[in-house]
Structure 1
Amino acid sequence: MIITKTPFRVSFCGGGSDMANFYEKYGGCVLSTSINKYCYISIHPYFNEKQTLLKYSENELVDEIDQIKHSIFRQVLKDMHIHGVEITSTADIPGGTGLGSSSTFTVGLLNTLNCYNGKFVSKDKLARLACEVEIEKLGNPIGKQDQYGAALGGLNFIKFNQDGSVSHEPILMEGKTYKKLQKNLLMFYTGTTRSANTILAEQTKNITSEDKAKNLLKMCGLAKDMKVALENNDISSFGKILDEGWQLKKELASGIANPAIDEAYDIAMKNGALGGKLLGAGGGGFLLFYCEEEKQEQLKKAIVLRELEFTFERDGTSVIYIGDKYWE
């Protein structure tokens, strides 16, 4: 058996600029971190080597790879010519919550299957392969930030270049600044999940308008401002930048926010939050707020949403178990 774990990501600023129809014209960038919530994938040979068994939110037992309903499983297993295995996927967080779950799964699956085939693949290449699967082969209307955030791990500034390449650099700061930033971030579950594809498809279409493109350019500028501030050990403006980015993001497509989300956001801002955003494409999932420690209890009592405690993580996708037979 082989087991991998791959982290979910939290995007602070610049989301949306990782879509091809934007970065090919302007270039894009995001600032994001991976967190200590994971997707775990295990694989081992199946008892009946002529069948493949998949266990996720559903169970699938198939004779042929083309019979698989789950599009990512089907595409990756077909590409890698793997059959006669049992694969199980479990996660700390449900899908559709704005933490990049689909891409986290794709990166983790690619890492698992390459290890099963006895191949080491770099984190950069795993991210690139995941983008090929989700965007080029399956045609999902998504960007590239989730794949790189999950594969690389850590707090990073990620650039999406006009030629389609991706570059990245870690955000370096003093340890006390890093710890304080973590302590000042709170995450709450809105109680609803959503499919990102509908919102992202509209957002992709809207980017062709000059006003929406200007919004994304401003959001990229905010990501750069956030990078400079963090590298100077200044987190005093972090909440303000989050809020400015959220106000710009809401204008990119209908369905990003709704009355319940707006109400929760307003309550948080009136009870100590200095800024925040809805994570992911929008419509549901998790709200993130920047709130100094002395105001956090007040905010938690006022917002009446389930809190998700988390910390940053730095490892990215990793293999956590390889059975003895693979060393023979």
Structure 2
Amino acid sequence: MIVSSAPFRVSFAGGGSDIASYYRRQAGAVLSCAIAKYSFVIVHNYFNENKYHLKYTRTELADALEDIAHPLLREALRMHRVEPGIEVASVADIPSGTGLGSSSSFSVALINALYAHRSRFASKDQLAEEACKLEIDILKEPIGKQDQYAAAHGGLNFIEFNSNGGVNVQPVVLSSEKMAELESNILLFFTGSQRDTRSVLSTQVQAMETDEDKFRTVERMVQLAYEMRDILMSGDLGAFGEALHRGWMMKRSLTSQITNSTIDEFYDAARAAGAIGGKLAGAGGGGFLVLYCPKDRQAKVRQALSQLKEIEFRFDWSGARIAFAQ
């Protein structure tokens, strides 16, 4: 039996530039961190050697790959030429559709588990590249590449996306004191709504492809990602929070689907209570509100957002890993 895990991620800046319609024209960059909330995949030999037994939010018992309803499971098993007689189960710390890259975390954990089931090793870059191939090339999902690399590598990273499709992952190195301060000053609140990532991202892609002003906005978001990386490395975390706010103002201008009046009210209330900056995690439209707030102001922010569920977390430094193998 194999138990595999891959972390979710929180993106700070540059989102949208990891999509091919952007980086094919101009190199993109994202600043993000992996968090210690995980997608888990269990792979086990199944008693019935003629069936695929799959368990997620539903249970499937299939005779052939073509009979499997779950797209990611079906195509990952096909990619790895997995024969019947296998059982795959998945669970996660946080639901999908919340802006934390859950789909790609699942893909990375699944691919790693399938390699381990055959007693094979895959590097973190290999896991990320294969997850991108699965989600973007095979399933034609309108998503970018940042989530797969964040899930595979873990940590706090600056990730560059080159026009030739290559990806460069650079760890952002801070002192232990500054890293602990950053970690403790980032708050996550669930807005209560989940969204269809495909719809939100498809609209953003269309906007970038048809409106040059929108493309230039993403270009400025990439420039801000570089600026925020440098701010972090200088240790000026207050300036990081302010830059996070500037980035959110840019992001929300891309399409009308990214935010709504309820989310804006939550964000404004958090800022009025002491949060320096923030944004919606991921593509937007719902999910988690990410806030940067110094510790001495957090009680007031929590009071202002008392109707929302807060998720406590720490950074993840391991990335994709095999937690158990027997």
Fold shared, TM-score > 0.5 on shorter chain: yes
When normalised by structure 2's length, the TM-score is 0.98
Aligned residue type for 1:128: E
Summarize the alignment of residues 40-51 of structure 1 with structure 2, pairs less than 5 Å apart. 40-51=40-51
How far apart, in 1, do the equivalents of 2:270 and 2:256 lie?
A: 22
Aligned residue type for 2:23: Y
| CA distances 1:247-294 after superposition (whole Å, capped 9, x unpaired) | 111111221101110110010010000000000111111001011111
2:258 maps to 256
When normalised by structure 1's length, the TM-score is 0.97
How far apart, in 2, do the equivalents of 1:120 and 1:285 lie?
A: 34
1:313 maps to 316
CA RMSD of superposed structures (Å): 0.7
2:15 maps to 15
2:25 maps to 25
How far apart, in 2, do the equivalents of 1:236 and 1:300 lie?
A: 19
Q: Partner of 1:6: helix, strand, or coil?
A: strand
1:227 maps to 229
2:247 maps to 245
1:195 maps to 196
Percentage of pairs with the same residue: 46
Q: Does structure 1 conserve the Cα–Cα contact (< 8 Å) formed by 2:157 and 2:172?
A: yes
Q: Say how many residue pairs are matched.
A: 323
Q: Partner of 2:173: helix, strand, or coil?
A: coil
Deviation at 1:123, TM superposition (A): 0.4
Q: Partner of 2:25: helix, strand, or coil?
A: helix
- Asked if residue 56 in structure 1 is aligned to residue 56 in structure 2, the reply is yes
Aligned residue type for 1:71: P
How far apart, in 2, do the equivalents of 1:12 and 1:55 lie?
A: 33
Q: Does structure 2 conserve the Cα–Cα contact (< 8 Å) formed by 1:199 and 1:254?
A: no
Deviation at 1:170, TM superposition (A): 0.3
**Structure 1 spans left out of the alignment, 5+ residues:** 324-328
1:326 maps to none
Q: Partner of 2:318: helix, strand, or coil?
A: coil
Q: Does structure 1 conserve the Cα–Cα contact (< 8 Å) formed by 2:238 and 2:276?
A: no
Summarize the alignment of residues 293-312 of structure 1 with structure 2, pairs less than 5 Å apart. 293-304=295-306, 305-312=308-315
How far apart, in 1, do the equivalents of 2:155 and 2:149 lie?
A: 10
Deviation at 1:186, TM superposition (A): 0.6
Deviation at 1:143, TM superposition (A): 0.2
Q: Does structure 2 conserve the Cα–Cα contact (< 8 Å) formed by 1:27 and 1:162?
A: yes
